[in-house]
Structure 1
Amino acid sequence: MSKKKALSSSEMLVGVATKGLQDLKGEKIISIDLRETENAVCDFFIICSGTSNTHVNALSKAVQEEVRKTLNDKPWHSEGFGNAEWILLDYVNVVIHIFQEETRDFYNVEGLWADAKFKEYN
């Protein structure tokens, strides 16, 4: 028999957060595994796009609700709700970036961590 590898708390959070994003039709959802990347600030980034400031706000609320309901956790820090072009939800080991498409293209966070492992969702 083969043993199944237990998911880390960071991996569970990634699964729950991406479910929240998918439920509200987040676009171009990716996770970036930074655990083997030198000088990484956390274990994972999740990056997602929304179609408007209303959609970006709704996506952030969906993630927070799904994580609270499933894992009984809340962000350590969050910001960007004012104009909702880029909302950041910091769960310490997992940082979630929810962008409007133009802002995502401008900052190109994916490009900064191009040497890490990427996983696409949708």
Structure 2
Amino acid sequence: MSARWHILRTEGSLTLCRQLPPRFDVTAHTELPLADSAKVAHQIRQDMWRAVQKVRGFSPVVTVTQQGDTLHVVAGGRVNGAVPDTLSAKILSVLENPEKRARWVRHAQRRTRTQ
């Protein structure tokens, strides 16, 4: 399997996935303040993976859609096999963790220095 992550962009939306086409067998949703969509997606993907990496056949997918001054996030992914009953709740607990949310937004709102 390739270590490459695919970033699919449409107007106002970004999807980060390992496998194409992206597929959501399990999802959780949240909203965040406006920030860099790609940075938010990568941060969420990393934290989600850490929380559910023991789920056999799980491949993360994160979609971030900008609507006004809000980012709508759908996090989850594909599962090759049975989807555990608790998986959606585990992903939602990552998305609703106040410390992680603050870190994602702080990281994604940081400006890149150009010299």
TM normalised by structure 2 equals: 0.33
Question: In proportion to residue count, which structure has more strand?
Answer: 2
TM normalised by structure 1 equals: 0.32
Question: In proportion to residue count, which structure has more helix?
Answer: 1
